[in-house]
Structure 1
Amino acid sequence: MNILQYESKIWATADLLRGCGIKESEWPSYMMPFFALAMIESRLMRMFDDLRTEIGEDTFAQIKKDDLYDLIKDKGQGYNIFIFEKTKSLTDICKNDKSFDIDFDAYLNGFDNETRDLLGVDASEGEKFLDIKGVISKLKAKKVLFNYTKLWAEIDLKPFNNSEITTLEEHIKRKWADISAETAGEQYTPDDVIALIAEIIASKIEESSTLLKIYDCTCGGGNMLFGVEDRINQKFKRLTQTYGQDWNDALYALAKIESRFRPDSKIEHGNTLVEDKFYNEEFDVVIANPPYGVSWKGYQKDIENDKTRRFKFLPSISDGQLLFMQHLISKLNASGIGVVVHNGSTLFSGDAGSAESNIRRWMLDSDIVEAVIQLPTDEFFNTGIYTYLWILNKNKQPHHKDKVMLINASDKFTPLKKSKGSKRKEVDEINRLDIVATLTAYQDNDYARVFEKEFFYFNKQAIMLTNIDEQNRTFEAHLPLKEDKFGEMKRASSIELMPIKITQGELELTEFSITQYDTTHHASLENYYIDAIKTKVAQLDYKEQPLLITTIDAKYYYDTNQETLIKETDNNKEALGCGKIIVKASYKKANKKFADRIEINVELTADYQKDYEVIPFNKDPVINQAAIEAFMIRYISKPFEYLENVVGVEINFNKIFYKPKTLRSVNEITVEIAKLDEQLRQLETELAL
């Protein structure tokens, strides 16, 4: 029997939900607890049968109830009074609709404490996990609980082993991902991507007598964690142990239930970023597909006060992907490897000096990034964007050290015959093996390139430009020299004028110790300043409209044609060089000498402009500085001073693997135009007839 025959039968239970008017997006929350119930029962019954076979029917019949309980408890897979003591199943309970409510309640309460907790049998407040109690209440209210339970009871998973049930579980979760877009990215990674991740890990591990510890910090329902483990077990005899954590109640419960039927698996509930349940563990393999673009504002203080030192930098609060990345790196043992799924933001978000850029630089400085693989678009069930696999390795081969490989696998797919939500492509086995072979070879080919890690670094050099007029003059030359506290002579930042009138268009300011103001609209001089004078002064722009500053001795204005400040005295005009006119207004409260007043001041300054230049980086400091200076000589023509230089890191697949579109020849276009002209003439002829 092929267990996937049950996929459609399980999903057919949703027809009853549809008939009750339950929204499609809510179906998973109704189906998860009953699917878990079917899985648990089938596995417990298989375990019970295996135990009877192992002990022998005659011996088994003589076992006391307490001894039987201890035997089953030692298996660590759960217990149910109905199944083990009354040899009754959900099917038996559904045979009598009159006693169903009482029997079903007793059946659920017959589970061991942990199973009841995971199913949410006794949930009232707090953690509900699968919340079967809440689902039952809703189905009762719609008077369909018996019929709904009966449909699930007809699904007999007992003939199938754990691996087969896991396969079915993954298919069902994929269905949930299709209709529950808000959680799809968190709960299901496509099987082909899981297979690729497993192939990558398998290419980097060896047979050994030591235990292989595999960890997923956002394990969801466990499909990726257990899927990778199963594939590793198919290729190696090496013993494996899985660890996972998730804070989604229902998905954690599914993963926890699954873990109990595996030889060695530990699943914990909680927010990994706030409370690492495996804080004292390190792992051989880490994998994860953390949620994309999810804010961590809700637990910002906990992250900022984290004492584990795992977070070197804190990224934008709107996206926690790089928090998970830093956490995973902290969990790797001395020779650990990892594969982490991210969207593109972790490659290039954030400018030089930002937390995102600093995290990338820390990762490359630590030489932990071995490769980044770009997957095709339309690979996941709820998004069509590009996704990326970060390959982490703390034990690189000698010829991989201080290098990073980029693999553009965006064309390594086969189209699906039928779309699954947004998923229209899959990385099939041939392409998966090709990608892994390319990664193993670690050499350039037509879709992959190997770089020195510094290739991804860049200088963001800040400079202070001094703008000049058309005669290469700057107002800086008119600023007086002053001695600073260290005895060095430096130019003042500005020259202050004492204006008697400021004019721009219809605006004219002549009162600089204003005592009269519009009492109709302003109750005080301070309000007058805030509502009228401050607003007007803020709008003054010497470049947008002529601004004339009149003092006792001269007039000052900016000549936009020459880009220079002009000083005019008795019709004599002097070009002072490129500079700025700054008008400031401030309200001064009354003191012993003066009443409250509004002061308006004017300053002339040089026209300085801070700018940034992005320049390729070289790991040799001398060569790097020489490259910066050569860049400035070539591209910067104005006087400038060096300010801070910040080194950033970004990984840009488009830049490296860009393929320009081939343009058609002029002759081809001309021929097409001639054909169109001929068609138009024929149409005109037909219309004329």
Structure 2
Amino acid sequence: MINFQDKVSFIWSIAEVLRGPYKPEDYGKVILPLAVLRRFDCVLESTKEEVLENFEKFKAMNEDAREPILNRIAKQNFHNTSKYNFANLLTDADNIADNLRDYINGFSKTARDIMDHFDFDRQIDKMDQNDLLYLTIKRFSELDLHPEVVTNVEMGYIFEELIRRFSEHAEAGDHYTPREVVRLMVSLLFLHDDDILTKHGITQTLYDCAAGTGGMGSVAQEYLHELNPTADLEFFAQEINGESYAICKADILIKGADAKNIRLGNTLSNDQFKGEKFDYLITNPPYGVDWKSYEKTIKAEHEELGYNGRFGPGTPRTSDGQLLFLLHLISKMKPVTPENPQGSRLAIIMNGSPLFTGDAGSGESEIRRYVLENDLVEGIVAMPNDLFYNTGIATYIWILTNNKSANRKGKVQLVNAVDFSRKMKKSLGSKRNEISQEQIDEIVRMYGDFKESEYVKIFDNEDFGYHKITVERPLRLNFVISEERIQRIQEEKAFQSLATSRKKGESGLAEIEAGKSQQDKIIETLRSMTSEQVYKNRDEFTKILKEAFKQADLTVAAPLLKSVLNALSEKDETADICMKNKTEAEPDADLRDTENVPLKEDISKYFEREVLQHVPDAWIDESKTKVGYEIPFTRHFYKYTALRSSKELMNEIKELEASIAEQLKKVLG
């Protein structure tokens, strides 16, 4: 294998030519598409003349009909019919911009689509205006990327390293996934399938729904070829970002594969692989990305198609769409059938939010409930921090399958691998740590052994579930007719609305006067009843109040009566319970509480032990009971660290004070 870093360094040195008109974070807009063009140019060189000759013969044909013929002649999945190449572009410096466009337009559809999504035409103008175009093309023409010199695999490494360098300036939510992280994901993904994957000539499918630049597919293919050189892993991918899509598609073509399965579009709102199923699924979706702009489409699918669509279990809050990607991948799993007994395996890397965000009944909890109750979650691996180039966020690899081995059925394995990393000699952006191959092997071994240890915990699916019960306590009120409480009545909306009217003219004024008169009579009646007596039974006091209003010839509607009662009341733990009817107590909303009861525990026993001992008058409102699921990963691996003693801290402070005093002596002489 060539030292591909030499090639990368040479290409990176070309980027220095752009300094000035281009900022370092924009170098990739030029270097990546030109690296692709130069590779294409070298790959097609040996058949270029033959393609041009045959192009003249088949010129009259429709492009779609002509393309496969010329591809066969080019011995590639693409071709170029322009008379230009990197060598002869340099013979006409004055017209190099127009000639370069002619060269790009001469590519067949797939390659042309790649260049369109790089939006390279704009960069041609910019370089030409700054007298950089000729020099940049000249430098690239000195780069030998012929297949005899650089194999497809080696070219993949070169391209991957360029992508990594340029991605260091990307947004944290769109980070490039480091190679060792993908290697770990792929190792876990293929862990139980050695018997299948080592079959001679086997073909399997792999799908990435948020493919970025396609790195996960590349590593997975590489891993499988190491395991079985005769195996073929057909890669399918969708990507929303035009430039990332172009890079991914270019990478596939550069490696000599067919790029038709790399598709552009928003996976969540515009699925490009409707109805298709895959053997393996892998992705690193954007974290915490808002999906409100296409909420309508997703909610419609959830409501109209239910479980016949992708989002039947529920939808998370619009501020974070990670779990939508998980549901999307689950919908692409092959069902287990006699013809396909292996089913599918899925690896997705997400941050901590999908583990616990969302209370019982929320979209997040319902999605967790779905994957756990359907026994889809095989394991979750907690990753070290500071692994990514643009974010130090904590991440977790979820492994799901619809065909668990017998010993894993009904179980979830948690692996705490947060300490399995090593410091890098030189940080790359936020990436300060990396996982060595030995550490990857150890994590995979622990996962495969399926035995509890310091770093491994095994749970039943139900261990993550709970009943959220609503605990009610009765409303208890006392009633006093005092001047202070009468003042409260005058502030009640129902009371104030008596002296308002929507009618116009005299009839409206008359209605207002009548209302004011009723207000006065209510206050007058109440003042005539004023006493120091405290009533502790609402029903008894209500009867007294109704009778007083009746004797005063006052008609008080139910809403107004309720408002008056409310103003004259106060909470009182010694009062009688307020009843809704003869058998049901009215709950006090201020005393309402909730309890999470583990699914494995009997609710009534829990309630008696944890609640009734403290508040004997409480009851459960069973109509509000919900089932929830959360995975409190960190809690299960928490280790208590004893606080340092005050004596130890004091000694340390004294040592520091002495040290500071000594330093001051030296400074002050």
Partner of 1:602: 564
Partner of 2:143: 155
Counterpart check, 1:221 vs 2:213? yes
Partner of 1:94: 90
Partner of 1:73: 71
1:636–1:160 Cα change, 3 Å? farther
Query: Which ranges in structure 1 are unaligned for 5 or more consecutive residues?
Result: 53-59, 121-128, 468-473, 479-494, 518-523, 534-547, 556-568, 582-592
Counterpart check, 1:672 vs 2:652? yes
Letter in 2 for 1:93: L
Superposition deviation, residue 655 in structure 1: 1.0
Counterpart check, 1:177 vs 2:167? yes
Superposition deviation, residue 496 in structure 1: 12
Partner of 1:654: 634
Of 428-437 and 130-139, more deviation after overlay is shown by 130-139
Partner of 1:425: 433
1:172–1:516 Cα change, 3 Å? closer
Partner of 2:317: 316
Of 367-376 and 450-459, more deviation after overlay is shown by 450-459
Counterpart check, 1:118 vs 2:90? no
1:619–1:496 Cα change, 3 Å? same
Letter in 2 for 1:551: L
Partner of 1:631: 610
Letter in 1 for 2:125: S
Distance (Å, rounded) in 2 between the aligned partners of 1:638 and 1:6: 78
Deviations 1:2-46 (A, max 9, x none): 1211222222333233311x3333333333322321232233347
- 8 Å Cα contact 2:466-2:598 kept in structure 1: yes
Distance (Å, rounded) in 1 between the aligned partners of 2:20 and 2:210: 35
Deviations 1:627-681 (A, max 9, x none): 3443222454553443421111111122111122332245533543554676688
Superposed counterparts of 1:201-240, under 5 Å: 201-206=189-194, 207-209=198-200, 210-237=202-229, 238-240=231-233
Question: Which residue of 184, 189, 199 corresponds with 1:196?
Answer: 184
Partner of 1:614: 595
What secondary structure does 1:92 align onto?
helix
- 8 Å Cα contact 1:501-1:549 kept in structure 2: no
1:151–1:551 Cα change, 3 Å? farther
- 8 Å Cα contact 2:173-2:288 kept in structure 1: no
- 8 Å Cα contact 2:175-2:390 kept in structure 1: no
Deviations 1:259-300 (A, max 9, x none): 234446621112221222222321110000111111222222
TM-score (norm 1): 0.76
Superposition deviation, residue 369 in structure 1: 0.3
Superposition deviation, residue 66 in structure 1: 4.8
- 8 Å Cα contact 1:241-1:264 kept in structure 2: no
Partner of 1:449: 457
Question: Which residue of 398, 404, 413 corresponds with 1:396?
Answer: 404
Deviations 1:140-191 (A, max 9, x none): 233322223223333322221111111111111111221223xx54362101
Of 611-620 and 235-244, more deviation after overlay is shown by 611-620
More helix as a share of residues: 2
Question: Which residue of 235, 248, 256 corresponds with 1:242?
Answer: 235
Question: Which residue of 138, 147, 155 corresponds with 1:165?
Answer: 155
Of 159-168 and 631-640, more deviation after overlay is shown by 631-640
- 8 Å Cα contact 1:338-1:391 kept in structure 2: yes
Counterpart check, 1:349 vs 2:357? yes
What secondary structure does 1:332 align onto?
coil
Deviations 1:582-631 (A, max 9, x none): xxxxxxxxxxx99xxx98942236570253433342347xx344334432
What secondary structure does 1:243 align onto?
strand
Of 602-611 and 349-358, more deviation after overlay is shown by 602-611
What secondary structure does 1:255 align onto?
helix
What secondary structure does 2:27 align onto?
helix
Letter in 2 for 1:228: A
Counterpart check, 1:407 vs 2:415? yes
Letter in 2 for 1:230: E
Partner of 2:547: none
Of 152-161 and 188-197, more deviation after overlay is shown by 152-161
Superposed counterparts of 1:274-673, under 5 Å: 274-306=269-301, 307=305, 309-312=309-312, 313-333=314-334, 334=336, 335-466=343-474, 474-475=476-477, 502-503=486-487, 551-555=526-530, 569=531, 571-573=532-534, 601-604=563-566, 608-609=588-589, 611-619=592-600, 623-643=602-622, 644-672=624-652
Superposition deviation, residue 362 in structure 1: 0.3
Counterpart check, 1:258 vs 2:251? yes
1:320–1:680 Cα change, 3 Å? closer
Distance (Å, rounded) in 2 between the aligned partners of 1:677 and 1:26: 51
Distance (Å, rounded) in 1 between the aligned partners of 2:24 and 2:653: 52
Distance (Å, rounded) in 2 between the aligned partners of 1:683 and 1:417: 33
Distance (Å, rounded) in 1 between the aligned partners of 2:102 and 2:89: 10
Question: Which residue of 135, 138, 142 corresponds with 2:130?
Answer: 142
Partner of 2:102: 106
Query: Which ranges in structure 2 are unaligned for 5 or more consecutive residues?
Result: 59-65, 337-342, 502-507, 517-522, 543-553, 570-577, 579-586
Letter in 1 for 2:598: F
Superposition deviation, residue 63 in structure 1: 8.5
Superposition deviation, residue 256 in structure 1: 1.8
1:298–1:76 Cα change, 3 Å? farther
What secondary structure does 2:640 align onto?
coil
What secondary structure does 1:603 align onto?
helix
Letter in 2 for 1:40: F
Letter in 1 for 2:20: G
Deviations 1:198-254 (A, max 9, x none): 211232212235421111011111111122111211112422211111121111122
Counterpart check, 1:10 vs 2:11? yes
Letter in 1 for 2:167: A
What secondary structure does 1:391 align onto?
strand
Distance (Å, rounded) in 2 between the aligned partners of 1:18 and 1:198: 38
- 8 Å Cα contact 1:342-1:388 kept in structure 2: yes
1:653–1:269 Cα change, 3 Å? same
1:367–1:686 Cα change, 3 Å? closer
Distance (Å, rounded) in 2 between the aligned partners of 1:276 and 1:73: 29
More strand as a share of residues: 1
Deviations 1:334-363 (A, max 9, x none): 211011011111111111110000000100
Deviations 1:354-399 (A, max 9, x none): 0000000100011010001111111111111101100011111111
What secondary structure does 1:283 align onto?
coil
What secondary structure does 1:4 align onto?
helix
- 8 Å Cα contact 1:185-1:380 kept in structure 2: no
Distance (Å, rounded) in 1 between the aligned partners of 2:494 and 2:124: 80
Superposition deviation, residue 463 in structure 1: 1.9
> What is the aligned residue count?
586
Distance (Å, rounded) in 1 between the aligned partners of 2:365 and 2:282: 22
1:264–1:445 Cα change, 3 Å? farther
Partner of 2:26: 26
Percent same amino acid among aligned pairs? 29
Distance (Å, rounded) in 1 between the aligned partners of 2:667 and 2:233: 79
1:502–1:11 Cα change, 3 Å? farther
Say what the alpha-carbon RMSD is for the aligned residues: 4.1
Distance (Å, rounded) in 1 between the aligned partners of 2:78 and 2:161: 24
